[in-house]
Amino acid sequence: MKKTLIEITLILLVLALIFVNIKNDGNMEKVEENKEKVLTKKELEENKVNDIINSLSLEEKLGQMIIVGFNGYEVDSDFSDLLENYKVGGVILFKRNIKNSEQLLNLNNNIKSINSKNKLPLFISVDEEGGRITRLPEGSTKFPSNKVIGKENDKGLSYKIGKQIGTELNDFKFNMDFAPVLDIYSNPKNTVIQDRSFGTDSEIVKTLGIATMKGLQDSNVISVVKHFPGHGDTKVDSHIGLPVVNHDKQRLDKFELIPFKEAIDKGADAVMTAHIVLPNVDESKKPATLSKTILTDILRNELNFNGVIITDDMEMGAIAKNYGTKDASVEAVKAGADIILMCHTKEKQIEALEALNEAVNSGKISIERIDESVKRIIKLKHKYNLEDI
């Protein structure tokens, strides 16, 4: 009888172990299934982006790689042509385009309506920094300059201002803001940056700039931090001429790059380049906008930035007078830029697109290089759920 009880106990123990193993195997299978589902979701998004890229002609891909400006309060035939026939990927508005609140809302809705026939929605962008760099119509909030915010040195305040700027931009159908400025104001003779900077201290600029960036992002507006790798220690205004900064890479690492590096680590979606020459960083003496050393080696590879790189306006004097907008557009893409910003002249905008087309067809730029940029652009548009409705 004792032997029988022992045998029964052993059998029950074996059965219990088998049951536990079966249950664990089932749980493992469920874990593996869930892993597959997560991977599949990522793969589906990647496949969706690839499908869009494969559906685009070369002209449509290149169109995505330019943001253009135009004149007037309404969509004219020139701008309609850029939307309908050149499939441009974005537009930037200035004071010259904005009369009042009603007109601005109608303009952006009209732009979206015209573009709705195209395969991808538009970046509708603006420079809304606060202070003297403001584009919004009368009746909108007048935000203080970054210099004033920097004196307060309040991270929470910076976030709230960024959030409110984003909210008001959203009301007018903007989805991209070329802000905040992450340049450190280290040269008193620098008139182009001046009060647009949060201050002379890298930590203050870093902390307040990133808070503003987060506020914009949380209001579903794409924040484009600028001007990489730092425009704070210049004397020449790059709107007029070509600034030269003689700092070496060690100096940049210890000062100018601090806000940008932190912004990238904290999720910056887009970075705008600076039209400044740093001969002790890139011996080719090309401005940052055209420098593979600065855009690819430093920004992409060293700082691990995987977002969208946008040039400053290629019609500014620093580029137009020294390199020509057409050739510079090709050089910027070769250097690593994803989007060319061309704010004024239709003829120059078309010339840039045609030059890029010719560069691809001649082998100066590979189609794979173009697809890299277009993929980043599409992913950013998907991330912010941009729509032309």
Q: Note the pLDDT of residue 4.
A: 61
Given a contact cutoff of 8 angstroms between Cβ atoms, the answer to whether 309 and 297 are in contact is: no
- 178 falls within a domain: yes
Span 323-355, pLDDT tens digits:
999 999 999 999 999 999 999 999 999 999 999
Is 195 annotated as catalytic?
A: no
Last residue of a domain, one of 55, 72, 94: 55
Question: 245 in a domain, yes or no?
Answer: yes
331 and 228, same domain (yes or no): yes
Alpha-carbon separation of residue 320 from 272, 298, 313 (angstroms): 17, 25, 10
290 in the same domain as 172: yes
Check which CATH number belongs to the domain holding 314 and give it.
3.20.20.300
140 shares a domain with 2: no
Q: How many independent structural domains does the chain possess?
A: 2
Is 389 part of a structural domain of the chain? no
Catalytic residue among 195, 282, 312, 313: 312
For residues 159 and 165, give the distance between their C-alpha atoms in angstroms, rounded to a whole number: 10
pLDDT of residue 10: 56
H/E run at residue 228: strand 222-228
The contacts of residue 350 (CB under 8 Å, 6+ apart) are: 82, 86
Residue 33 in domain = yes
Fill in the DSSP letter of residue 136. Answer: P
The yes-or-no answer on residue 344 being catalytic is no
* 152 and 7 assigned to the same domain: no
Average pLDDT over residues 114-124: 96
Nearest CA to 340 among 308, 366, 365? 308
Let me know whether 75 and 203 are in one domain.
yes
Q: Catalytic: which of 81, 239, 248, 253?
A: 239
∠ at Cα 323 (317, 324), nearest 5°? 75
Q: Which of 55, 74, 94 is the last residue of a domain?
A: 55
Q: Is residue 388 part of a domain?
A: no
The verdict on 39 and 83 lying in the same domain is: no
pLDDT at 1: 47
Dist CA 32 CA 301 (whole Å): 33
Tokens encoding 376 = 């980043």
- Sheet containing 270-273: which strands, arranged edge to edge? 308-310, 270-273, 222-228, 176-177, 123-126, 90-93, 66-68, 340-342
135 and 2 within one domain:
no
pLDDT in tens, 287-330: 999 999 999 999 999 999 999 999 999 999 999 999 999 999 99
Q: Which of 92-106, 151-165, 235-249, 337-351 has the lowest mean pLDDT?
A: 235-249
In a domain, 336, yes or no: yes
pLDDT band at 241 (very low <50, low <70, confident <90, very high): confident
Do 44 and 115 belong to one domain?
no
In this structure, the answer to whether residues 42 and 95 fall within a common structural domain is no
CA distance 160 to 374: 32
Residue 50's domain comprises 1-55
In this model, does residue 53 exceed pLDDT 70? yes
User: How far apart (Å, rounded) are the C-alpha atoms in residues 353 and 346?
Assistant: 11
pLDDT value, residue 82:
97
> For residue 260, is it within any domain?
yes
3-state class (DSSP) for residue 262: helix
End position of a domain, from candidates 11, 27, 55: 55
One-letter identity of residue 199: G
Indicate the pLDDT class of residue 204, thresholds 50, 70 and 90. Answer: very high
Q: Are residues 174 and 33 in the same domain?
A: no
> Tens digit of pLDDT for each residue in 4-50?
656 665 555 555 555 545 455 555 555 555 555 566 677 777 888 98
